[in-house]
Structure 1
Amino acid sequence: MKSCPRWLLPSLLPLLLAGCSGPGADLSGWVAEQKARKPPPLQPLPVLKTFEMYDYTDQGMRDPFSASATETPGAGTGPHPDLKRPKQPLEAFSLDSLKMVGTLGDVTRQEALIQEPSGLIHRVRIGEFMGLNYGRIVSMTPTQVDLQELVPDGSGGWTQRTATVVLRH
């Protein structure tokens, strides 16, 4: 067996030891360099505007959360629905879900054809009711049905509102 020449080991030793530096040597140098750098100057904060204080005095003014003195709570003498009358089939649906699909009859006796969401078609005449808000049919043309609805006014009474169901093709 042959041995290595004696001069080979001492010549390779510095090369081997050069690779034995610590794992964070590059990182330590970079951190030291960054710490030595001067930070950029900060911009000054903007000057804040001063606002005048407003003193709100509510003495002598109406409380917005209580009923007005002119409003009378309760049903009053205005219009109100007849809650004792039997409901008609189309009063179970909102007007948005009902479709007018046609009319029947002549000038003296006219009927509108209204389709409910399930597809069933009903005949309606002036004076009958439909919709969730006690809508009474007040007039009809070949292209639309006009209703007078009664909706709660928020103070225990009722107010009238006009609604229309239009013929859809």
Structure 2
Amino acid sequence: MNTVRCGWLALLLGGLAGCGGERDFSDLDTYMDEARLELPGPLEAVPTWAPYPLFSYGAASLRSPFSAQVMAGEEGLVWGEPRGEPRGEPDRLRPRQYLERFGIEQFEMVGTMVGTSGAYALLRGAGAVHRLKVGDYLGRNEGRVVSVSETRVEVVELVPDGQGAWLERPRSLSLNTHS
């Protein structure tokens, strides 16, 4: 057992003897000297910023834009009257046309075509160019084509006013000359 201990002790002392001695770090010192020469001079001080002025929200006491409008009438406070006309309600029994599946924003006018049966507008959208005449429907809001000219298509949409009535909203598509 003594010989085993002596063997381990000799091995440990031999390992420690290899860690001593003078080492050559000249290449590392040269690299560090070059790196120190490339450092920029003193850094600029961080600028000071003026504090941002505080904002005080003062509309907390006003009516919410999402609630119905209340007006002062002869009988006191009255809810706002519907602005649309009930007679403008869309025809639910009318068969839907193909272009009513898409939003009117997807279409652009690319030309016109005049035939024996009248003027047609050429609209690009929904993956193709479509031909429409006065009376055709377009868009998700019951948009009916009311006039076709060389540079513009006029459409009237029926949109709910949120109070049970319907409003007619005019829209137009102008000729896109850059397509």
TM bucket by the smaller chain?
A: 0.5 to 0.7
The alignment partner of 1:133 has SS state of coil
Instruction: Point out the structure with the larger helix share.
Output: 2
Give the unaligned 5+ runs of structure 1. 1-55, 57-63
Which residue number corresponds to residue 94 of structure 1? 103
The alignment partner of 1:123 has SS state of strand
The alignment partner of 2:111 has SS state of strand
Mapping 1:57-68, distance limit 5 Å: 65=67, 68=78
Amino acid in the other structure paired with 1:165 = L
Amino acid in the other structure paired with 2:105 = D
Q: Does 1:147 align with 2:155?
A: yes
C-alpha offsets along residues 107-147 of structure 1, whole Å, 9 cap, x if unaligned? 961011111232x1111100110011111011110111001
Q: Does 1:71 align with 2:73?
A: no
Which residue number corresponds to residue 130 of structure 1? 138
Amino acid in the other structure paired with 2:124 = Q
Tell me the CA shift for residue 70 of structure 1. 5.7
Retained in 1: the 8 A contact 2:157–2:168?
yes
Amino acid in the other structure paired with 1:133 = N
CA distance in structure 1 between the partners assigned to 2:125 and 2:149 by the alignment: 19
Give the unaligned 5+ runs of structure 2. 1-60, 70-77
Aligned length: 105
CA distance in structure 1 between the partners assigned to 2:108 and 2:149 by the alignment: 15
Amino acid in the other structure paired with 1:139 = S
Tell me the CA shift for residue 77 of structure 1. 3.3
Instruction: Point out the structure with the larger strand share.
Output: 2
CA distance in structure 2 between the partners assigned to 1:133 and 1:101 by the alignment: 22
The alignment partner of 2:105 has SS state of helix
TM-score, normalised on structure 1?
A: 0.54
Retained in 2: the 8 A contact 1:90–1:116?
no
User: Cα gap change, 1:156/1:112 in structure 2, threshold over 3 Å: closer, same or farther?
Assistant: same
Structure number with bigger Rg: 1
TM-score, normalised on structure 2?
A: 0.51
Q: Does 1:163 align with 2:139?
A: no
User: Cα gap change, 1:76/1:106 in structure 2, threshold over 3 Å: closer, same or farther?
Assistant: closer
CA distance in structure 2 between the partners assigned to 1:110 and 1:161 by the alignment: 23
Point out 4+ residue stretches in structure 1 off by more than 2 angstroms: 64-72, 75-78
